[in-house]
Structure 1
Amino acid sequence: MQEAVGVFLDAWRLVTAVADAVSRHQLRRLSGREEELPLAEEAVSEVAGDVQSMIQTEMATALTRQADWPHMAQQLVALRQAGVDLSRFLPEVAEIAATSQDSVLEHAATSHEGKWERKLRETLPAGPVREAIVSSPRWPEMTAAMERLEQQGVDVRSVLATAHDQAVGVHHAVAQHLGGDAATATSRDALLSYGPLTVGLDIPKNLNLDDREGALEKQLAISPSENQRYVWMVRQAMPDLEREADLLVAARQWPLIAARIADMERGRQPVAEHLARLSQDTSWQEGPQSLMGRRLVQAANDALRKPIGAPAGPGEPRARVNTAAARSTSPSVGPLKAAARGAAPVTPGVAAHREAGPAAKSGRRR
């Protein structure tokens, strides 16, 4: 709360200082003179009641307790003497300051939630437990609690990994009690995306690309601001191909490209250099116009996965997908708790398209 009050006060000081500067400039221009500020004590006595009656009580109290309140009161009286109606001016300034305060609070909350969505994604496997956590109405409360624990020196990742096993038990117990299936069925989108588009990525079994916003933010932990930045990166990489860049980011499987970019950024890889290949090799332009979006998705994925320095031309063979294996194997990975405790990973528990291969260089596996 103290930080929020500070933002309100800073915004108030800025807006009133701007108004005072404009008023003085206008007086000098029209009359050739500048009025002296009234005495501080008289100014405080004159406007204190107005401030208390026209501004939210706690903010008015905070304002009048500041060391520079007498100077702010002088500015307000000077504005009134110059013809400014304080009954309109004061509420307007308060609204601007309150809006600034709300923006900071919202940004802080969003930053915390985005930070903990990424950490949760890196700590827990894709699946119903993780989806239940981030989609919960109490998610903001959970992120605030995790932030406090981290500030106190608690290893929150360890707590999450331990809590995951208990949560899985709850998931199964509820499903059994209600006579349902505790296992999450692999969605059609997850099956169709299985292969080069998802290799090395942690993609949930119930991937739903029909809900683009939900797929990005809830299932792949990519915030709207991050997605906008990735869209901008694509457009920067295709400066003379605006229409084609728009086709790529509008494609149904764009969330998977965004997830690839996010994964590469976490691994500190030069994403811009990879994306530049979309302009250097435009073989994706060849073919029916109706399939342009699909070809662009494939080209972008190839550009991101190939190491810098590798040929980007169309001559090299593309990875093939064993559809039979894809439909018989879950695309999700197992819990990371064992790995966190130092246990050796169990190879059979990893889906075929997540096993180490040539493409694994393009992103850090979790």
Structure 2
Amino acid sequence: MATPTPGAGDAFAEAAAEAVQTSVMAIRLVLAIADAVRRQQQKMAGKEEELPDAEKSAAEASGEVKRLLPSTFSAALLEGADWPQLAQQLMALRSAGVDLETILPRVGEIAVTVRDQVVANAERVAREGTDGWAKALRETLPAGPVREAILSSPAWPEMAATMAKLDERGVDVRAILASAHEEGVGVDRAVAKVLAAAEVPTTSRDAKLSYGPMTTGLDIPKDLDLGDRERALRQLAISPSENQRFTRMVREAMPGREREADLIVAARQWPLVAARMADMEGRGAPVAEHLARLSKDTSWEQGPRSQMGRRLVQAANDALRKSVGEPVGSGPRVNTAAARSTSSSVGPIKAAAKGAAPATPGVAAHREAGPAVKGGKTR
């Protein structure tokens, strides 16, 4: 056997230690997401609980962690400066109805995968800020309580920073997010059960009314709340800076018509327009080129002044959905009220057809709108 070169053992030990620390970082991220879901569920029920006593939690949680996680990871967690806070999160999850004997072993499996990725992959530098990871969430996780809980959590900036560090070390962060989403769904259901809340949210009025051309192809949560703009943008994974940029793009597309551009942005359905723009950007479509048609085709000017905002939103959506060469407002119009009344769907989100692979993992896109109702007998 060849004699190791001087320092080779130290380098190997360093790499192994880094792999363990990165795995522990991933464990913290998954548990932070689980705790964010717990907080969100309890907050919505008006029963958010404070974290339990740190000292007592540390004593109780240490045994669970040692028993349910590989010793390498449990030792690193217990030695960490943030262990008391992590122990509080674990005990709060248990108190809320989450089975630690189920979630911790699965978190351990995620940590093992991360460790192996760090060892196998050369370190690379790919720094992304919070906005980049908000986009990754939109593309990786389906709209719903888990994604909203992450983006609304006070710990979101820290989570985004953790994702960036994991990514720099060669870890497949999207795979971790997909796994964390499954755990988050379990946490959401467990906490909901304890709070005697429904596991599946009732389809909101906004989600029902938005069904049709405004949401075709988009990932819309069943409890969409357009009455709370900040929350609606969060539900659709549109970050504040993205919202500002999309607002600026609309204004730049309508030079000399700032008032009309502001009517689009001020409209109740603006978050859906912004979501359409984000979806197009994710597919590499020329958003600005589509929006420019609002100045070229001004058919939205025709009609009562009081309904200008509504017509502008429809025109913006048409401009974004249709090919650049196709005139805005052309083609048959769909009576969405009639479509809803005859649809067997219970909400705006339908599972993808069998045999068709989704564009991104974990995303359930809004099904395509059906054809316009032909003439004939009506009820």
Q: How does 1:87-236 map to 2 (within 5 A)?
A: 112-216=129-233, 218-236=234-252
Residue correspondence of structure 1 range 273-352 to structure 2 within 5 A: 273-312=289-328, 314-321=329-336, 322-324=339-341, 328-332=345-349
Q: Is this contact kept in 1: 2:218–2:365, CA < 8 A?
A: no
Q: Which runs of at least 4 in structure 1 moved beyond 3 Å after TM superposition?
A: 325-328, 342-345, 349-353, 355-358
Q: Give the whole-Å Cα distance in 2 for the aligned partners of 1:350 and 1:130.
A: 11
Partner amino acid for 1:354? R
Residues 303 and 343 of structure 1: is their aligned pair in 2 closer, same or farther, counting only changes over 3 Å?
A: closer
| Contact preservation (8 Å) 2:213, 2:369 | no
Q: Is the 8 A contact 1:333 1:350 kept in 2?
A: no
Deviation, 1:140, is: 2.2
**Which is richer in helix?**
1
Cα distance in structure 1, aligned partners of 2:281 and 2:267: 21
CA contact (8 A) 1:238 1:278 kept: yes
**Contact 1:233/1:272, CA 8 A, preserved across alignment:** yes
Distance 2:363 2:203 in 1: 15
Tell me what 1:45 maps to: none
Match of 1:5?
A: none
Percent identity over paired residues: 65
Q: Which runs of 5+ in 1 are unaligned?
A: 1-109, 359-366
1:354 corresponds in structure 2 to 367
> Normalised by the size of structure 1, how large is the TM-score?
0.59
Are residues 233 and 344 of structure 1, via their aligned partners in 2, closer, same or farther at CA, if it must alter by over 3 Å?
closer
Change (3 A) 1:190 1:155: same
Q: What corresponds to 1:102 in structure 2?
A: none
Please give the alpha-carbon distance, in whole angstroms, between the structure 1 residues aligned to 2:156 and 2:241.
Answer: 19
What letter corresponds to residue 196 of structure 2 in structure 1? G
Whole-angstrom distance in 1 between the partners of 2:163 and 2:308 = 44
Given the superposition, is the C-alpha separation of residues 315 and 132 from structure 1 closer, same or farther in structure 2, using an over 3 Å criterion?
A: closer
Cα distance in 1 for partners of 2:193, 2:231 equals 28
Deviations 1:190-240 (A, max 9, x none): 111111111111122221112212322x11222222222222222222113
Q: RMSD over aligned Cα, in angstroms?
A: 3.0
Equivalenced residue count is 239
CA contact (8 A) 2:218 2:366 kept: no
CA–CA separation in structure 2 for the residues paired with 1:153 and 1:111:
14
Distance 1:326 1:195, change over 3 A: farther
Letter aligned with residue 166 of structure 1? E
CA contact (8 A) 2:148 2:237 kept: no
In 2, are the aligned partners of 1:190 and 1:331 still within 8 Å (CA)?
A: yes
Paired residues of 2:128 and 2:164 also in contact (CA < 8 A): no
| Counterpart secondary structure, 1:354 | coil
How far off its partner does 1:121 sit? 1.6
Report if the CA contact (8 A) 1:128-1:184 is conserved: no
> Cα deviations across residues 278-324 of structure 1 (Å, max 9, x unaligned)?
11111111111111101100011001111121233x45322342122
